[in-house]
Amino acid sequence: MTDFASLITQTVRDAAWLPHRYDPGHDAVHFQHVPRDVHRKAVFATDEHLPADAEKRVLRREDVIGAVPDEAPMHFIFHSAFCCSTLLARVFDRPGWAMGLKEPVILNDLVGWRRRGGDPRTVAMVLDHSLRLLGRPFDPGEAIVIKPSNIVNSLATAMLAMRPSARALLLHAPLPTYLTSVAKKGMQGRLWVRDGLVGMLQDGSISFGFDQKDYLGQTDLQVAAIGWLAQHAIFAGLIARFGPDRVRSLDSETLLARREDAVRALTAHYGMPLTEADLSELAHGPVFHRHSKLGTDFASTDRNQEYRDAASAHGDEIDKVVRWAMAVAESAGVPMVLDSPLVA
């Protein structure tokens, strides 16, 4: 018994033991040993990007939650995909200051559980406990910045309500940029948005007056636009509920064009400002000059050329879908431009 208690204490007192998955059938947390340098190299904290041979431990939630140390200050980057969110999360990998967690899968597990009919009160309790586990600092004095997967946006209201001191950034790409990103990914991107639509319908996040059969008659980019509008509706609701003191919005084009202003404003919003020297280092250093997914050198000119090529191939369809989406947004009362901008 003593050895088991020691194992629990060792696990929960070390943030390198990532609470990776949640198994509702056994009420168990699957921990995986993910040191900071592994987080840094991984695109996301997912099985695809974490070492397959990492040490793992499976512990009952009720056994570990009582041993969790005090949380670090916690903040969020909620996003609607293809908007440089991974890049921005990397800004917060600075030992002694903050740690950015990129798409921890345990939060996705809770979304899936809820979609399968999990009791909302129990899901909420496990969500709170999952945040407590994710909120363990790697080094004393650090804050934790969590960038969930965009499917977790359906839990964003609950997450902010559970952490009254947490602040959030709502990051998104302008709709034409988002649609271009989907188009340039080919079949993979088009299947991804349709899969996302199915999930959002299960979440009850889509209410634009269409019957489910109507979506079968829409093009892939129309479906992508519906998903973007649904995320914008969630974001607008967060701003209305929590206000600008806790929730700010930013689009990816502004982030890239005014990256020093954006990082300065965001770190101030989180209550963890950087020195001017650190700001300059981040804005002009490798974080903004490497491909966030591939890890290769990637200048803004490369990105712009990619988008020009995709826009050339798909521009007519994108323009028509944007006009259609603006009409849908107006009818549904969804703002195309969010309030509470991070950068004026």
HEC per residue, the chain = CHHHHHHHHHHHCCCCEEEEEEECCCCEEEEEECCHHHHHHCCCCCCCCCCCCCCEEEEEHHHHHHHCCCCCCEEEEEECCCCCHHHHHHCCCECCCEEEEECCHHHHHHHHHHHCCCCHHHHHHHHHHHHHHHCCCCCCCCEEEEECCHHHHHHHHHHHHHCCCCCEEEEECCHHHHHHHHHHCHHHHHHHHHHHHHHHHHHCCCCCCCCHHHHHCCCHHHHHHHHHHHHHHHHHHHHHHHCCCCEEEEEHHHHHHCHHHHHHHHHHHCCCCCCHHHHHHHHHCHHHHECCCCCCECCHHHHHHHHHHHHHHHHHHHHHHHHHHHHHHHHHCCCCCCCCECCC
Q: Which residues does the chain have with pLDDT short of 50?
A: 1
- pLDDT score at 1: 45
Distances (CA, A) of 38 to 52, 141, 241: 12, 21, 37
